[in-house]
Amino acid sequence: MPAVIVLGAQWGDEGKGKATDQLGQHTDLVVKFNGGNNAGHTVVIDGEKYALHLLPAGILSEGVTPIIGNGVVVDLDVLFEELADITARGVDCSRLLISSNAHIIPPYNRLMDQANERARGNNLIGTTGRGIGPTYADKMNRIGLRIQDLFHPEELRAKVEAALAPKNNIFEAVDLEVLDPAEVSDHLLSFADRIKPMLCDVSLVVNDALDRGDTVLFEGGQATMLDIDHGTYPFVTSSNPTAGGALTGSGVGPTRIDRVIGVAKAYTTRVGEGPFPTELDNEVGEALRAKGGEFGVTTGRPRRTGWFDAVVMRYSTRINGLTDICLTKLDVLSGYDTIPVCVAYEVDGVVTEEMPLDQAGFEAAVPVYEELPGWSEDISQCRTFEELPRAAQDYIKRLEELSRCRIQSIGVGPGREATIVRYPIQ
């Protein structure tokens, strides 16, 4: 598997960290291509839990080169805090490489997140408040700060002063702290010497690796339904977590990609605001949340829960060109007599098996369910597909049919080893 993209196929929190960690054990490079510390990956190794927010999950695999690509926005405080934390736990972080073109999240953009949410009033987006959106906005407005700017102090100071002046006016208007551009610049420049050994031309490094026949894994943050172009706009993230984002966020061409793996839960969750057709806003949803431990790795916010949505999954298969699905948390569904699966939507009296044409249609969508037999057995120790109860096997096969993509692996527990591999990735 020379070049493989791993991404979220639903609304995030699908278990991409575990999937990337597992595949990362057999790769040479793992490249994070979008987002920032607004998402978290949880990896459990030998019973020890690692919560990664900015660092690629591949950093936990010995011998793998972890890379932060140009499509990522980097909070320097978080980066070095996270590096210090996992280094103290015995993880070798000396292999980390970072694109010099990656943008920096300055302190004032965390305040901009707060200011924007205050201005929205009751029309909240549900941002994590990490400054991700404002930093991507600065990037598009061509007033952003890149990591390479740390080595040109006077230019960086000028950029900070120009970007901060209008933002300070906003902060003052909404009763937030007004920042001193000199202090902001000094703080950012203090990281220059520490980050300099990590910098590289990621596009060159990755393409050279592929030319050598090395295996490269591209790791996405957030998920398809949060994509700025293809997600449930405006309740989306500020980057492209879809397969196309892996190319622009790392500097490789589409002809170099061999497989695209979408990670999906055996049910569905969502954090923050926005439409969610299969949401269980009741005791059933609360029980599913508790059983699945559905609380955000980064924010701690409770996740909204619902049944598996095959309409969303088919859409994700199409948008990303998925070759495989990595299904997680099947063990959470043990104990249900029957398990509903959304196979279509009813919108204004019309049944459709595809995503509605517009956002209003999606918000009005009523799920059409198919009831599948459940199972009562504990499946956490199963390591082959044949060991699963017949009903669990049938559930997987039906999801495969509905998703129009093969289910390559099945997660039956949080640990690295708690996985059934049906089809080795080659």
Kindly list the catalytic residues. Answer: 13, 41, 139
Q: How far apart are CA 271 and CA 280, in angstroms?
A: 13
Known binding residue 159? Answer is: no
Residues 321 and 355 sit within 8 Å (Cβ to Cβ): no
Q: b vs e for 138-175, b when ≥16 Cβ sit within 10 Å of the residue's Cβ? A: bbeeeebbbbebbeeeeebbebbeebbeebbebbeeee
Known binding residue 237? Answer is: yes
Cα 300–125–8 angle (5° rounding)?
Answer: 60
Known binding residue 297? Answer is: yes
Q: What CA–CA distances, in Å, run from 257 to 6, 25, 303, 321?
A: 11, 19, 32, 11
Q: Classify 362 as helix, strand or coil.
A: helix
Torsion angle of alpha carbons 275, 280, 282, 284, nearest 10°?
A: -160
Strands 65-68 and 216-219: unpaired
Known binding residue 416? Answer is: no
Q: Classify 200 as helix, strand or coil.
A: strand
Known binding residue 251? Answer is: no
Instruction: Return the half-sphere exposure (C-beta side, CA atoms, 13 A cut-off) of residue 285.
Output: 17
Known binding residue 17? Answer is: yes
Known binding residue 333? Answer is: no
Known binding residue 300? Answer is: yes
Known binding residue 14? Answer is: yes
Q: Map tokens 């059409």 to a residue.
A: 368
CB atoms within 10 A of CB 415: 17
Known binding residue 40? Answer is: yes
Known binding residue 412? Answer is: yes
Known binding residue 298? Answer is: yes
Known binding residue 245? Answer is: no
Known binding residue 292? Answer is: no
Would the CA dihedral through 82, 87, 90, 96 be positive or negative?
positive
Known binding residue 272? Answer is: no
Known binding residue 42? Answer is: yes
Known binding residue 39? Answer is: yes
Q: How far apart are CA 311 and CA 39, in angstroms?
A: 24
Q: b vs e for 51-68, b when ≥16 Cβ sit within 10 Å of the residue's Cβ? A: ebbbbbbbbbbeebbbbb
Known binding residue 25? Answer is: no
Q: b vs e for 88-127, b when ≥16 Cβ sit within 10 Å of the residue's Cβ? A: eeebeeebbbbbbbbbbbbbbbbbbbbbbbeeeeeeebeb
In sequence order, the 6+-apart residues with CB closer than 8 A to the CB of 215 are 1, 2, 3, 4, 26, 27, 28, 29
Known binding residue 16? Answer is: yes
Q: How far apart are CA 174 and CA 168, in angstroms?
A: 10
Known binding residue 289? Answer is: no
Residues 170 and 150 sit within 8 Å (Cβ to Cβ): no
Known binding residue 121? Answer is: no
Sequence ranges of the binding site for substrate: 297-303
Give the annotated binding-site residues for IMP: 13-16, 38-41, 128, 142, 222, 237, 301
Binding residues, as ranges, are 12-18, 38-42, 128, 142, 222, 237, 297-303, 329-331, 411-413
Binding site for Mg(2+): residue ranges? 13, 40
